[in-house]
């Protein structure tokens, strides 16, 4: 049995706490988070295009370099898929699922950082060998950096990061890269 005082205290606490979740600040933070999630989800689609473009260019590379490049692209694909799944789960209002989504976002951020490092490494190796492939890898690297920043902002972490070496800057620039013909030339 609970005492009358305990019930009154619990009811008072509930009465004070309920409006806080509906306050303009709480709604604004929720709207900002939803906008960040939408941007990050759209960025995963941009990266999927980058991955397809980069993969089409690898056929002209020497065997060893082609294998290393395809492995790096596969890492980027896995990291992007992990980020997409974490972003899907992050839109929840359930506190337990929200906590799980935060952990998943942190894991996705780590995977994106590792994939970026791997892409940066092979882009440096490819640079003198095949410029269309190097361009596609730099576009992928830049868009991975943008997604990493978006996931970082969504998850609540605020540290800024070096997005790596790349020529093209900005969200969605890889769509401007065109498509490759049989020779690997970007049109």
Q: Which two tokens stand for residue 147?
A: 């997604």
Q: Which residues pair with 180 in a beta bridge?
A: 186
Q: Is pLDDT of 98 > 70?
A: yes
Domains in the chain: boundaries: 47-177
- The whole-angstrom separation of Cα 132 and Cα 53 is 10
Mean pLDDT in residue range 17-23: 48
- The whole-angstrom separation of Cα 139 and Cα 167 is 8
Render pLDDT for 73-91 as a digit per residue (tens, 0 to 9): 999 999 999 999 988 888 7
Q: Which two tokens stand for residue 56?
A: 């089409």
Q: Cα 156 vs. chain centroid, distance in angstroms?
A: 14
The pTM score is 0.66
Confidence of residue 24 (pLDDT cuts 50, 70, 90): very low
Average pLDDT over the chain reads: 75
- The whole-angstrom separation of Cα 155 and Cα 36 is 10
Q: Are 112 and 146 in contact (CB under 8 A)?
A: no
pLDDT on residue 6: 62
Render pLDDT for 139-153 as a digit per residue (tens, 0 to 9): 999 999 999 998 888
């Amino acid at each position: 049995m609970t005492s009358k005082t305990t019930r009154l205290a619990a009811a008072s606490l509930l009465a004070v706490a309920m409006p806080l979740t509906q306050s303009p600040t709480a709604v604004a933070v929720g709207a900002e988070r939803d906008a960040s999630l939408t941007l990050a989800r759209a960025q995963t689609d941009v990266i999927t295009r980058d991955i397809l473009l980069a993969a089409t260019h690898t056929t002209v590379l020497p065997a060893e370099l082609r294998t290393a490049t395809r492995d790096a692209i596969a890492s980027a694909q896995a990291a992007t898929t992990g980020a997409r799944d974490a972003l899907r789960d992050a839109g929840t209002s359930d506190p337990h699922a929200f906590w799980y989504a935060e952990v998943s976002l942190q894991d996705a951020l780590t995977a994106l950082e590792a994939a970026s490092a791997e892409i940066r490494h092979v882009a440096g190796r490819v640079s003198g060998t095949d410029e269309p492939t190097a361009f596609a890898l730099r576009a992928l690297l830049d868009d991975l950096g943008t997604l990493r920043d978006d996931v970082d902002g969504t998850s609540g972490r605020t540290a800024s990061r070096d997005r790596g070496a790349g020529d093209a800057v900005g969200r969605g620039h890889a769509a401007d890269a065109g498509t490759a013909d049989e020779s690997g030339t970007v049109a």
